[in-house]
Amino acid sequence: MSSTSDLPSQTQTQAFIPPPPPKTLTARVLVAFVDWVERRNIAHSIHGNPPIYDPRAFPWVAEVESEWAKIRKELDVVLQRREELPNFQDISTDVKSIQRDNQWKTFFFCGYGKSSEENLRRCPETGRILKKIPGLKTAFFSILSPRKHIPAHRGPFNGVLRLHLGLLVPEPRTRCRIRVEKGVLVWEEGKAVVFDDSFNHEVWNDTDGVRVVLFVDFERPIRWPFNWLNKLVLSLAVFTPYIREADQNQKQWEKKFYARR
């Protein structure tokens, strides 16, 4: 993925509106604990706390990149039924805050202890390659339709880092990009970018083609013993209503999708 030093003039950032403060005492205590862990994550992060990372800091990235064509081959089969794939907000309803149309679709593999065995069975090489990623938390194909814009937003917790592996990048590539804080990056097929999604970021596909990346969240490398605090917070995610609801929605979609074979 290549970078540009300045924001394109036509890309105006939507202001991020933080969620309202929690009301119950338990919720306030939990939020305070997570905030405290986030500060520890920043202080003890092995690779610092930049918005965008050099992928070479993670030796396994090059190995994943070297096999990207095998993932692309399986993606091409998935895209034969692109219109039937779920909209992101149909699986994760919290995404409705930034997406309400049918122009951002997903093909889910795994997330916080939940996985799609049927999707993984259809993409065995992708599943094999995903096993090479240390601390893998989430993985899916992220599919953007032509002229799609994802407004400015940020993730809820800095305990993971995000990797995008370019799989299908339409031309002109300079019109297909992601902004993370003040940096703008342009996807390249077979190349990965790593960034911290807890920083404000925004995505554009201002081309006439479909853009697809392998979207991965993995545990941020943190020095011992503080890495265990991060692992604790991440392990609790599976018990949240967001993950449980997404898992139910995914299973319902799979049942309908694979019944139409």
Q: How far is CA 139 from the centre of its chain?
A: 7
Q: Which of 3-12, 62-71, 218-227 has the lowest mean pLDDT?
A: 3-12
pLDDT of residue 20: 53
Rounded Cα gap, residues 199 and 181, in angstroms? 6
Instruction: Give domain status of residue 144, yes or no.
Output: yes
**Is the per-residue pLDDT at 25 higher than 90?**
no
Structural domain span for residue 185:
23-259
Query: Is cis: bond before 170, omega within 30 of 0?
Result: no
Instruction: Give domain status of residue 117, yes or no.
Output: yes
Instruction: Give domain status of residue 5, yes or no.
Output: no
CATH classification at residue 169? 2.60.120.330
Instruction: Give domain status of residue 139, yes or no.
Output: yes
Q: The pTM is what?
A: 0.89
**Is the per-residue pLDDT at 15 higher than 70?**
no
Instruction: Give domain status of residue 1, yes or no.
Output: no
pLDDT of residue 14: 38
Q: Are strands 201-205 and 136-144 parallel, antiparallel or unpaired?
A: unpaired
pLDDT band at 192 (very low <50, low <70, confident <90, very high): very high
The model's pLDDT over 208-231, given as tens digits with 9 standing for 90+, comes to: 999 999 999 999 999 999 999 999
Structure tokens that stand for 220 in this block? 């941020």
Handedness of CA 8, 48, 162, 94 (dihedral sign): negative
Instruction: Give domain status of residue 18, yes or no.
Output: no
DSSP state of 169: -
| Mean local confidence (pLDDT), 11-27 | 53
**Is the per-residue pLDDT at 19 higher than 80?**
no
Rounded Cα gap, residues 156 and 16, in angstroms? 12
**Is the per-residue pLDDT at 184 higher than 70?**
yes
pLDDT of residue 28: 80
Instruction: Give domain status of residue 6, yes or no.
Output: no
Element (H, E) at 106: strand 104-111
DSSP state of 225: T
pLDDT of residue 51: 97
Q: Classify 79 as helix, strand or coil.
A: helix
**Is the per-residue pLDDT at 12 higher than 60?**
no
Number of domains observed in the structure of the chain? 1
Q: Percent of the chain having pLDDT more than 70? A: 90
Buried b (16+ CB within 10 A) or exposed e, 37-50: bbebbeebbeeeeb
